[in-house]
Amino acid sequence: MGKVGFIGLGIMGKPMSKNLIKAGYELVVYDVNAAPMEELVATGKAEAATSPADVASRCDLILTMVPNSPHVKAAVLGPGGVIEGARSGTLVVDMSSIDPMVSREVAQKLAEKGVRFLDAPVSGGEPKAVEGTLSFMVGGRQEDFDRAEALLKCMGASVVRCGDVGAGNVTKLANQIIVALNIAAMSEALVLATKAGVDPELVFRAIRGGLAGSTVLDAKAPLALDRKFNPGFRINLHIKDLANAISAGHEVGVPLPLTAQVMEIMQALRVDGMGELDHGAIIRFYEKMAQTEVKRTQA
């Protein structure tokens, strides 16, 4: 395979691109900020591009990892975008978490030029991006998935095709709904336990092996007990995902009442200046209402 294009070298994209370099790929990279491009070029395994179109003119497989739907449309379809430099047969794999309707729109525009498209959002946040153990949820044709699968496995522990274009982002939105509601449920429960005079760590230990146990509980309860809210996945980013989920729900006629509820909790936290904290800080909304703090009582 020739050089791989990588557009978007932020909190997620930079470590993901580094894992591709470790796996032996040579990259052509682009970001609106010069610093991460320079860092990757310094490895000797990446070349800097001047625009997404420049990336596309030099690569037949292009990965994009940008914040939200407007950024994907700008990078792929806008002036200087991928579509201006891509040749027929090029495959674009968008790993951003966006509105699935936008994924389908971008795919349709690219198809008019003979360019293939997969939506392949990830779950796992920055720690798993660094480790190379992300989960990829992919939408698109089977033959395009087959072409990209080995590449994605250099960055993730799980790579699953969920259906046609848009299915990857629908799956990611379903994931984000479940994660947000799990954190909210954990928060309610541990704040209740604390205010009722029961050690929240013992409650966590007692319930984690039963039906209430979950990966989310195991990941977030210990951090809440240690009062660690530095971001693995920021509240502001989760707000973006839930906004896309609610938009998609309205588009297809699915009410999402619990998603809307936790969205408003996150909005309140953002107004309180906590938007850049980890989404585990949802517990602080409940703590504020109950005038109590969940923390370890034993050393």
The predicted-structure confidence for 8-63, as pLDDT tens digits, reads as follows: 999 999 999 999 999 999 999 999 999 999 999 999 999 999 999 999 999 999 99
E strands, the chain, are: 4-7, 27-30, 46-48, 61-64, 91-94, 116-119, 122-123, 134-139, 156-163
Residue 125's pLDDT is what? 83
Do 262 and 280 lie in one domain? The reply is: yes
User: Looking at the annotation, which residues are catalytic?
Assistant: 172
Q: Which range of residues forms the domain containing residue 49? A: 4-164
The predicted-structure confidence for 73-115, as pLDDT tens digits, reads as follows: 999 999 999 999 999 999 999 999 999 999 999 999 999 999 9
Do 14 and 132 lie in one domain? The reply is: yes
Residue 1's pLDDT is what? 60
Residue 297's pLDDT is what? 82
- Distance between alpha carbon 136 and the CA centroid of its chain, in Å? 9
Do 125 and 40 lie in one domain? The reply is: yes
Is-above-0.85 flag for pTM?
Answer: yes
How far, in Å, CA of 238 to CA of 38, rounded?
29
DSSP 176-190: HHHHHHHHHHHHHHH
* Domain end point (choices 99, 133, 164): 164
Do 127 and 187 lie in one domain? The reply is: no
Do 279 and 183 lie in one domain? The reply is: yes
In CATH, what number is assigned to the domain containing residue 189?
1.10.1040.10
Residue 124's pLDDT is what? 86
Q: Is residue 295 part of a domain?
A: no
The predicted-structure confidence for 146-197, as pLDDT tens digits, reads as follows: 999 999 999 999 999 999 999 999 999 999 999 999 999 999 999 999 999 9
Number of domains in the chain: 2
Q: Is residue 299 part of a domain?
A: no
In CATH, what number is assigned to the domain containing residue 68?
3.40.50.720
* Domain end point (choices 135, 164, 193): 164
The contacts of residue 291 (CB under 8 Å, 6+ apart) are: none
Q: Is residue 263 part of a domain?
A: yes
Cross-strand partners of 7 = 30, 64
Is the pLDDT at 294 greater than 80, yes or no? yes
Do 122 and 233 lie in one domain? The reply is: no
Task: Name which of 1-5, 16-20, 134-138, 143-147 the model is least confident about.
Answer: 1-5
Longest Cα separation, the chain? 65
The predicted-structure confidence for 239-293, as pLDDT tens digits, reads as follows: 999 999 999 999 999 999 999 999 999 999 999 999 999 999 999 999 999 999 9
Do 30 and 123 lie in one domain? The reply is: yes
The predicted-structure confidence for 109-126, as pLDDT tens digits, reads as follows: 999 999 999 999 999 888
Q: Is residue 296 part of a domain?
A: no
Cβ count within 10 A of residue 34: 10
Residue 2's pLDDT is what? 81
Q: Which of 165, 240, 67, 3 is nearest to 17 (CA)?
A: 3
Residue 126's pLDDT is what? 85
Q: Is residue 285 part of a domain?
A: yes
Is the pLDDT at 299 greater than 80, yes or no? no
Total residue count of the chain as it appears in this document:
299
Do 188 and 219 lie in one domain? The reply is: yes
Give residue 127's pLDDT band: very low, low, confident or very high (50, 70, 90).
confident
Q: Is residue 298 part of a domain?
A: no
Do 193 and 143 lie in one domain? The reply is: no
Do 18 and 158 lie in one domain? The reply is: yes
Do 96 and 8 lie in one domain? The reply is: yes
* Domain end point (choices 164, 179, 208): 164
Q: Is residue 297 part of a domain?
A: no
Do 116 and 184 lie in one domain? The reply is: no
Q: Is residue 155 part of a domain?
A: yes
